[in-house]
Structure 1
Amino acid sequence: MIKNPSFLNYHKWQRIIIAAICVALASQAEFNAFVPGFIIALSALLLPVFLYFNQDLNPLQLGFAIAIASPVFRGLILLLTHNTTHVLSYTVADILYFSCYVIIYYLLYWQRHFRNNSAFFLTIVICDYLSNLLEIGFLTRMQGLTLYVVELVFVVALVRTLVATLISFLFHYFQLLIVRSEEHEQQYYHFIWVAAAVKSEVYFMKKNVNDIEAVTKNAYLLNERLKAEQLPEEQKMAYQIAQRVHEIKHSYQDVIKGLGDYFDDQNNAPMRMNDILKIVSSYSQMIIHSRHLNINLVVQNNLDCTVPEHYYLVTILSNLILNGIDAIGKKHSGEIVIAVQDQGKDVQITVRDNGSGIPEAMLPLIFKAGFSTKFDQSGDIYRGIGLSNVQSIVQDQFAGRITVNSKQGSGTTFHVFLNKKLLTSKGVNEDEVLHC
C-alpha cells in the first residue's frame, strides 16, 4: 500500500492541517437523517481516503485535528441558522464522532504489524458504524437507538465505506499503473542512453584495433631488423613488445565481440526521430535536475522518419547537449535548443545553447583528438567520447559534417548535417531512393 503519494507528501503537520480543513469543508455538504442534529456528510467519505493515503501519520493526531476543525466550521453555520441552544450539543456530537472514529481505527488497524485492504475495509465499517451510534446516542440520550435506526445506520456505514474504499483502492491501483509505466519508461530511456554510450565505445575500439595491428606489425619488422643486425637483447625486447601488443589486440577483440553480440544491430528495431529526441531530452532533463541547474530544453522537430542506427544518433545528440549543459552551468535562465530539419538530401540537426561560449582561439582545436576544456577538481580531464569522436561518427556512419559557431559569453551552436539516406536506411543499394 502507498503510504506517501506524491500529492500528499508534505511535511507531517502540513498534511494534518490540509486533511482537517478538507474534511471540515466537506462536512458542510450534508443532510439530516434519523434524529435532529444527526447528519450524513461528505466528510465521512473523505476521512477514510485521507487515512488510507497517510498511513505514516498517527491517526490520533489526524483525527483530533479534524475533530477540532470540523465542529468549528459546523458551529459557525449553526450559529447563523439555528437556535444557539443547539450549537453546543451538535458541536460536541461532531467531536465525539471523529474522536471515536480515530480511536477505533488506531486500536484495530494502525497498530497492526500487517495491514491489507481487507483489514482496512472492515476497520472503516466498524469505525463509521460505532461512531454514528455514539453520536446518535449522545444527541438523543440513547432514546433514538431503536432497532430500525441501528440497522439503518449500519447500512449507511457500509455504503459509505464501500464508496470511500472503492475510491481509495481504484486511485491506488491507477497510481501504481502510472508509477510502473513511468519506471519502465525511465528504465528504457536509461538503457538506450547507456547502450548508445557502449556502442560508440565499441565503435572506437574497433577503430583502435587497426592501430594496434599497425603497432604489432611494426614491432615484428623491428624484431627482424634487429635480428639481422645481430642485436639479441634489443631483438628480444622488440619481440616481447609485439607479443604483448598482440595479446592486447585479442583482449580488445574479445570485449568487442561480447559487447557486439549483446548490442547486435540485427536485434535493434529502428526508432522514430520523435522517440529518439524524447529519450535524449528526457534523460538530459534528469541530468539537469540531478545537478540542480536552471536549464530549459527546447525540442523542435519537423522531420518524421525512422533511424536504424539510432544508437549513434543518440551518442551525437547526448554529447552535444551535455556540452551545452556544462557550458551553461549555474547560469540562470539557461536554454538549450535542439532542432531537426529536412534539408533535401541531408538532415540538419542544430544544438544551440546560451552558455559561456568557446574562446575564438580554441575553435580550431575542439575537434582535435584529446582536446578538452573540462576538468574536475583534481585536474583530471572529463572523458566523454569527445567532439573529435562525435565528428568521426558523423563522418563515418552518416557521411556528414559538423560545424560550430560560438561567441564567448553568448553561447555556442553546433550544426550537424547527416546524409538522409544513410540516416534513414541500412544496407541499401546506391540506386535506392528512400524518403523520410
Structure 2
Amino acid sequence: MLKNISFLHYRKYQRIFITAICVALASQVQFNVFVPGFIVALSALLLPIFLYFNQDINPLQLGCAIAIASPAFRGLILLLTHNATHVVAYTIADILYFLLYTLIYYLLYWRLVYYNDSAFFLTIIICDYTANLLEIGFLTKFNGYTVQVLSIVFVVALVRTVIASLIAFIIHYFQLLIVNNEEHERQYHHFIWVASAVKSEVYFMCKTIDDIEQVTKKAYVLNEHLKKEGYSEEQKMAYEIAQHVHEIKHSYQNVIKGMGDYFDDQDNVSMRMDDILKIVSSYTQMIIRSRHLDINLVVHNTVDCVVPKHYYLVTIISNLILNGIDAIGHKRNGEILIQVSQKGTDVRLAVTDNGSGISREILPVIFEPGFSTKFSQSGDIYRGIGLSNVQIIVQEQFAGHITVDSTPHIGTTFFVTMNKDQLMSSKEVMA
C-alpha cells in the first residue's frame, strides 16, 4: 500500500541533493576579497534563486546538505593549493556561511503563511550580509571588521541580491503572464476552495429538505391528535414546533435558491484535471505551512480530461487530503501522495498518507453518517463534510465508489473510483 512513500522522499531529497551539488560547483566560480579565504562566489547567486522556486523544501535541510557538499568540493581544491590548516579554516567558514544563511531564511521568511517578493528580497539581503560577516569574523578571529569592510560587504550583498532576485522575478513573472498574476491566481484558488465547500453544503441542504418536510408533517399530525385528546398545552407546543420547523424549511430554501443560482454548474466553465489538482495542492500547502507541519505533498496525474462539476471533485480531494494532514499531525517527514489514473472507463483517485493509520476496530464504520475522530479541546466534534458525505458525492455525482486501506502507525490510502463519462458530464444528479 505505502510502497510509494519512498518515492515521495526521493522526489523531495533528490531536489535537495541536486541543488547542493549545483551550489557546490557554483562556489568554485569565485574571487578573493578583503581577507584570505573570504570569497565572492557564484553560489551566492544560485542559492536564492533555488530557494525562490522551491518554497516547499525546508531550508534547514537544504542548508545542511550544502554545508556538506560545498566544502567537500572547495576543500579538495584548497588542499592542492594551501596547507592543511588553511583548508580546515576555510572549510569551516564555508559551513558557517551556508548554515547561518539558511537559518535566517527559515526564521524570517520560510515560516510565513503568505509569501511575497518584497519580503523575499529583504530576507536575502539580510541572509547574505549576515552570513558574510560571520565568515569574515571567523577567518579574522573577529578582528577584521572595519567601516570600509562592513560597507563593501553590504554593497556586495545588495548587488548579489538584486541580480538573483531579478533573475528569479523575471522567470516567475514570465510564467505568470500565461495564467495571470500571482495575487489573482491565489484569490482564484481561494474562491474555488471556498465555493466548493459552499456548493457541497448546499447540495446536502437540498437533501435534508425532505427530512424537514417529514418532521413538519408529523408535528402537525401530533398537533391534531393532541387537540382531539384535549391536551391543550401539549397541542400548542406541537403546533409551535410545526411552525418553527416550517420556518426553518423556508430559510433553507432561500439559502439554497440564492447559493444554488450563484454556483449553478451550467454557468461555470469546466476545469481541466491538472488545474483542479493544482488548486487543491496549492491551497493545502498553504494550510500545511500555516500549521507549521513537516508534510511533503506530491501530485501525479496521467488523466487529461475536463470536469464540469469541478466543485464536487475539489471537495472530494480536499477532504481526503485534510484527513491525511490530520492523521500525520506533527510527525516528521510526513508524506501525502495524490495519484490520478485511468483504468478502462473509470478514473481512479488514490490519496496516500504515512500518518497514524486507522485502527481495525473503527475501520468498518468510518463511512457511517456522523462518524468522526476529530474533537476540539472542549470536546466538540469537528464534523466538516465528513467521509459519509464524500461517499455520497462520489456515488451520486460520479457513479463511483470509495474504499480505504489502512495500517495502524504506517499509513492510509483512500481509493476513489469514478465513471469517466459521469465525471465529464455537466448534468448534476440529485438522488
Aligned to 1:377, the other structure's residue is in SS state coil
1:227 aligns with 2:341: no
Structure 1: unaligned runs, 5 residues or longer: 22-61, 71-97, 99-165, 429-436
1:370 aligns with 2:370: yes
Per mean C-alpha deviation after superposition, the further-off stretch among 371-380 and 413-422 is: 371-380
Q: Following the alignment from structure 1 to structure 2, what is the Cα–Cα distance between the partners of residues 302 and 172?
A: 29
Structure 2: unaligned runs, 5 residues or longer: 1-115, 136-145, 156-161
Write the mapping of 1:122-201 to structure 2, written as runs, cut at 5 A.
181-201=181-201
Q: Following the alignment from structure 2 to structure 1, what is the Cα–Cα distance between the partners of residues 168 and 335?
A: 37
TM-score normalised by the chain length of structure 1 = 0.61
Aligned match of 1:340: 340
Output one character per residue of 1:131-180: Cα deviation in whole Å (capped at 9) or x when no partner: xxxxxxxxxxxxxxxxxxxxxxxxxxxxxxxxxxx999988995995798
Write the mapping of 1:288-327 to structure 2, written as runs, cut at 5 A.
288-327=288-327
Q: Kindly state the Cα deviation for residue 64 of structure 1 after the two structures are TM-superposed.
A: 4.9
Distance 1:379 1:3, change over 3 A: closer
Q: Following the alignment from structure 1 to structure 2, what is the Cα–Cα distance between the partners of residues 336 and 4?
A: 31
Which AA in structure 2 matches 1:268?
N
Query: For the pair shown, which has the larger CA radius of gyration, 1 or 2?
Result: 1
Write the mapping of 1:223-262 to structure 2, written as runs, cut at 5 A.
223-262=223-262
Aligned match of 1:382: 382
Aligned to 2:402, the other structure's residue is in SS state strand
Aligned match of 1:403: 403
Q: Following the alignment from structure 1 to structure 2, what is the Cα–Cα distance between the partners of residues 378 and 257?
A: 35
Q: Following the alignment from structure 1 to structure 2, what is the Cα–Cα distance between the partners of residues 370 and 220?
A: 28
Q: Kindly state the Cα deviation for residue 209 of structure 1 after the two structures are TM-superposed.
A: 1.3
Q: Following the alignment from structure 1 to structure 2, what is the Cα–Cα distance between the partners of residues 339 and 227?
A: 61
Q: Kindly state the Cα deviation for residue 378 of structure 1 after the two structures are TM-superposed.
A: 2.3
Q: What percentage of aligned pairs have identical amino acids?
A: 62
Distance 1:248 1:172, change over 3 A: same
Distance 1:172 1:270, change over 3 A: closer
Aligned to 1:391, the other structure's residue is in SS state helix
Does the 8 A contact of 2:266 with 2:426 survive in 1?
A: no
Distance 1:13 1:239, change over 3 A: closer
Distance 1:68 1:219, change over 3 A: closer
Q: Kindly state the Cα deviation for residue 301 of structure 1 after the two structures are TM-superposed.
A: 1.1
Aligned match of 1:6: 120
Q: Following the alignment from structure 2 to structure 1, what is the Cα–Cα distance between the partners of residues 415 and 239?
A: 47
Q: Following the alignment from structure 1 to structure 2, what is the Cα–Cα distance between the partners of residues 278 and 302?
A: 14
Per mean C-alpha deviation after superposition, the further-off stretch among 225-234 and 313-322 is: 225-234
Q: Following the alignment from structure 1 to structure 2, what is the Cα–Cα distance between the partners of residues 270 and 186?
A: 19
Aligned to 2:216, the other structure's residue is in SS state helix
Q: Kindly state the Cα deviation for residue 262 of structure 1 after the two structures are TM-superposed.
A: 2.0
Q: Following the alignment from structure 2 to structure 1, what is the Cα–Cα distance between the partners of residues 369 and 117?
A: 52
Which AA in structure 1 matches 2:187?
Q
Q: Kindly state the Cα deviation for residue 202 of structure 1 after the two structures are TM-superposed.
A: 0.7
Q: Kindly state the Cα deviation for residue 421 of structure 1 after the two structures are TM-superposed.
A: 1.3
Aligned match of 1:153: none
Distance 1:236 1:3, change over 3 A: closer
Q: Kindly state the Cα deviation for residue 353 of structure 1 after the two structures are TM-superposed.
A: 0.8
Aligned match of 2:352: 352
Aligned to 2:361, the other structure's residue is in SS state helix
* Correspondent of 1:15 among 106, 129, 151: 129
Does the 8 A contact of 2:307 with 2:424 survive in 1?
A: yes
Aligned match of 2:283: 283
Does the 8 A contact of 2:345 with 2:419 survive in 1?
A: yes
1:207 aligns with 2:207: yes
Q: Following the alignment from structure 2 to structure 1, what is the Cα–Cα distance between the partners of residues 168 and 407?
A: 52
Does the 8 A contact of 2:129 with 2:153 survive in 1?
A: no
Which AA in structure 2 matches 1:9?
T
Aligned to 1:360, the other structure's residue is in SS state coil
TM-score normalised by the chain length of structure 2 = 0.62
Q: Following the alignment from structure 2 to structure 1, what is the Cα–Cα distance between the partners of residues 117 and 416?
A: 48
Aligned to 1:9, the other structure's residue is in SS state helix
Write the mapping of 1:83-122 to structure 2, written as runs, cut at 5 A.
none
Q: Following the alignment from structure 1 to structure 2, what is the Cα–Cα distance between the partners of residues 401 and 168?
A: 49
1:424 aligns with 2:424: yes
Q: Following the alignment from structure 1 to structure 2, what is the Cα–Cα distance between the partners of residues 216 and 418?
A: 37
Per mean C-alpha deviation after superposition, the further-off stretch among 259-268 and 387-396 is: 259-268
Q: Kindly state the Cα deviation for residue 190 of structure 1 after the two structures are TM-superposed.
A: 0.7
Q: Kindly state the Cα deviation for residue 18 of structure 1 after the two structures are TM-superposed.
A: 6.0
Output one character per residue of 1:47-86: Cα deviation in whole Å (capped at 9) or x when no partner: xxxxxxxxxxxxxxx995565669xxxxxxxxxxxxxxxx
Q: Following the alignment from structure 1 to structure 2, what is the Cα–Cα distance between the partners of residues 312 and 3?
A: 34
Distance 1:323 1:69, change over 3 A: closer
Q: Following the alignment from structure 2 to structure 1, what is the Cα–Cα distance between the partners of residues 200 and 127?
A: 51
Does the 8 A contact of 2:121 with 2:165 survive in 1?
A: no
Q: Following the alignment from structure 1 to structure 2, what is the Cα–Cα distance between the partners of residues 65 and 183?
A: 40
Does the 8 A contact of 1:341 with 1:347 survive in 2?
A: yes
Which AA in structure 2 matches 1:15?
Y
Q: Following the alignment from structure 1 to structure 2, what is the Cα–Cα distance between the partners of residues 169 and 405?
A: 46
Distance 1:13 1:307, change over 3 A: closer
Does the 8 A contact of 1:405 with 1:412 survive in 2?
A: yes
Q: Kindly state the Cα deviation for residue 267 of structure 1 after the two structures are TM-superposed.
A: 2.1
Q: Following the alignment from structure 1 to structure 2, what is the Cα–Cα distance between the partners of residues 3 and 363?
A: 46
Aligned to 1:373, the other structure's residue is in SS state coil
Does the 8 A contact of 1:17 with 1:65 survive in 2?
A: no
Does the 8 A contact of 1:272 with 1:306 survive in 2?
A: yes
Q: In angstroms, what is the RMSD of aligned CA positions?
A: 3.5
Which AA in structure 1 matches 2:217?
K
Q: Following the alignment from structure 1 to structure 2, what is the Cα–Cα distance between the partners of residues 169 and 323?
A: 37
Output one character per residue of 1:347-396: Cα deviation in whole Å (capped at 9) or x when no partner: 11111111100000001111111111111222222121111111111112
Q: Kindly state the Cα deviation for residue 297 of structure 1 after the two structures are TM-superposed.
A: 1.2
Q: Following the alignment from structure 2 to structure 1, what is the Cα–Cα distance between the partners of residues 130 and 266?
A: 56
Q: Following the alignment from structure 1 to structure 2, what is the Cα–Cα distance between the partners of residues 303 and 398?
A: 16
Which runs of structure 1 show a deviation greater than 3 angstroms over 4 or more consecutive aligned residues? 2-5, 10-19, 62-70, 166-180
Q: Following the alignment from structure 1 to structure 2, what is the Cα–Cα distance between the partners of residues 313 and 362?
A: 26
Distance 1:256 1:16, change over 3 A: same
Q: Following the alignment from structure 2 to structure 1, what is the Cα–Cα distance between the partners of residues 309 and 152?
A: 64
Higher relative contact order (CA 8 A, sep 6+): 2
